[in-house]
Amino acid sequence: METKDKILIVEDDETIAAFLIAVLEANGFDTIRASLGREAVTLISSHCPDLVLLDLSLPDMDGMEILAGLRKWSTLPVIVVSARGRERDKVIALDMGADDYLTKPFGPGELLARIRAALRHVRTAAGGEVGRTGVYRCGDLEVDCVRRRVRINGEDIHLTQSEYRILSLLTRHAGKVLTYDFILRELWGPSAGGSNQILRVNVANIRRKIEKNPAEPKYIFTEIATKNPAFTTVCVLTDKEEIGSDGVTGMQSMYVFHFMQELCRTAGQDDIIAFRNSVCLSADVTAAYDPSWASAFEPMNGTYAGRGIALFKYTGSRGKSAANDASAELVGYVTRMMDADDVAWQIGELGRLDLGGGGTIAKYVANRGIPVIDIGVPVLSMHSPFEVIHKTDLYMAYRAFVLFNQAAE
């Protein structure tokens, strides 16, 4: 499936903007428009255009300021489109990093030719096969940077705009190790901050679409910085939950936390800070709404079989006393991760709070200062001789846990 080059039009004049949009969209480009300079700066970071058409005379700031700020972090092609026809203005703009300068008025043919040339220069600058032909090939993978098409074994692969831009950037730097900060800065600009989650989720999606086995990637590899890893993933399997999680193998035992303390000390890290910066999913089932025992549930605040993996902050045991106490930030982190990969999820309570009921081991993790939330499959007739789950919920749980582990790579 081909995607279109996206052009950001920075123009406050409604008539000129409408003309540019009509010409570009009639010739196979996607367009977005900003009428103010500050709006343009935001759209460059949030919408990742392939090229900017920049007017210099804007109501809130001079276009030269936008150009100067952009060139501090990006090589995104910029064509100045301005009524300023003096040679001095052209020289200043080009010296500040503009790729071309087009003086108003101009014809649509000249505009399109200059846009094609600017985009072609970007691809040529990549060097190697991409620079020569505009196409990157590796095994069964083909990335056509001219037609913006991605194929595996000759079959089109659908990527979102963000996924395509990430893959295109990687192909232009094939064989090199790119840091998270570099990719974030190139695609989303300085406003992306230090959060890698949006990038990790998108790369996980790309792997799922182009790799035969995402767990053993052939095209996109993650270099683990063994001297200073971003994350260390730990899977804890505990026993004796039904009798209070006591004993050496229960979650109330210190064995897990002693292990993590020893792990931190081996790496020369402070265990208190490590616990505070950790994230935990407490993978346990929850009770699905049961119409046969409707009085034990809150219909408007419960979870249902067949509606996706369930998150539950309060367990229902003794009101809110057995809570995992997940923060809003943790809930948002987990739900955004699942939303980005179309994982169906729901949120609710484990039964009526005033009736009490089950509990989970998440509270023991929370008591150690580790952010944690309960997440799992809703079970119909939980703890009965015949428990039933929905296969969709089980599959969504699998995908959610895979995403969580990939995000920690």
Model confidence pLDDT, tens digit, residues 41-77: 888 877 878 899 999 999 999 999 999 999 888 888 9
Instruction: Using pLDDT thresholds of 50, 70 and 90, give the confidence band for residue 320.
Output: very low
| Spatial contact of 2 and 168, defined as CB atoms under 8 Å apart | no
Please tell me the distance from the alpha carbon of residue 100 to that of residue 56, in angstroms, as a whole number. Answer: 13
DSSP H or E run through 152: strand 149-152
pLDDT at residue 289, as a whole number: 87
Angle at alpha carbon of residue 335, lines to 201 and 261, rounded to 5° = 75
Is 260's pLDDT higher than 60? yes
Mean pLDDT value across residues 112-122:
90
May I ask the CATH architecture of the domain 279-407?
3-Layer(aba) Sandwich (3.40)
CATH of 129-210, one of 1.10.630.10, 3.40.50.300, 3.30.420.40, 1.10.10.10: 1.10.10.10
pLDDT at 68: 92
User: Is the pLDDT at 322 greater than 70, yes or no?
Assistant: no
Q: What is the pLDDT of residue 300?
A: 84
Predicted confidence (pLDDT) per residue in 263-297, tens digit = 888 878 888 888 888 888 888 888 888 888 888 88
The neighbour count for residue 34, using CB atoms within 10 Å, is 24
pLDDT at 209: 92
Instruction: Name the phi and psi angles at 286, rounded to 5.
Output: -135, 165
Q: How confident is the model at residue 384 (pLDDT cuts 50, 70, 90)?
A: confident
Residue 245 has pLDDT above 80, yes or no: no
| Core vs surface per residue 353-365: b (16+ CB within 10 A) or e | beebbbbbbbbbb
Tokens, residue 41: 């700066």
Lowest mean pLDDT among 188-197, 233-242, 395-404: 188-197
Nearest to 397 by CA among 334, 341, 345: 345
Give 176-223 pLDDT, tens digit per residue: 888 877 888 888 777 665 556 678 888 888 998 999 888 788 888 876
Is the pLDDT at 11 greater than 90, yes or no?
A: yes
Q: Tokens at residue 28, please?
A: 């196979």
The fraction of the chain above a pLDDT of 90, given in percent, is: 31
Residue 13 has pLDDT above 60, yes or no: yes
Average pLDDT of span 117-138: 74
Give the per-residue pLDDT at 65.
Answer: 93
Q: In this predicted structure, what is the pLDDT of residue 203? A: 87
CATH number of 6-124: 3.40.50.2300
Instruction: Please list the helix, strand and coil fractions of the chain in percent, rounded to the nearest 5, in that order.
Output: 40, 15, 45
Q: How much is the pLDDT for 368?
A: 83
Q: Taking the domains of the chain in order of start, what are their residue ranges?
A: 6-124, 129-210, 279-407
Alpha-carbon Rg for the chain, nearest whole angstrom, is 27
Distances, alpha carbon 65 to alpha carbons 54, 71, 97, in Å: 11, 10, 11
Q: What is d(CA 365, CA 361) in angstroms, rounded to the nearest whole number?
A: 7
The CA-based diameter of the chain, rounded to the nearest angstrom, is: 85
CA dihedral 121, 123, 124, 128 (to 10 degrees): 170
Round to whole Å and give the CA distance between 53 and 78. Answer: 6
Give the residues across from 82 on adjacent strands.
Answer: 103
pTM of the full predicted structure?
Answer: 0.50
pLDDT greater than 90 at residue 242: no
pLDDT of 389 strictly over 90:
yes
Name the average pLDDT for the chain.
84
Q: How confident is the model at residue 107 (pLDDT cuts 50, 70, 90)?
A: very high
Sheet holding 280-283, edge to edge: 280-283, 372-376, 309-312, 345-347
The pLDDT confidence band at residue 408, using thresholds 50, 70 and 90, is low
DSSP-derived letter for residue 340 is H
Distances (CA, A) of 162 to 7, 40, 62, 250: 15, 18, 29, 44
- Judged against a pLDDT cut of 70, whether residue 17 lies above it is answered with yes
pLDDT of residue 74: 82
234-243, 287-296, 387-396: least confident range: 234-243
Instruction: Report residue 243: phi and psi, to 5°.
Output: -120, 25
Question: Which pLDDT does position 9 carry in this prediction?
Answer: 96
The torsion angles phi and psi of 33, rounded to 5 degrees, stand at -135, 140
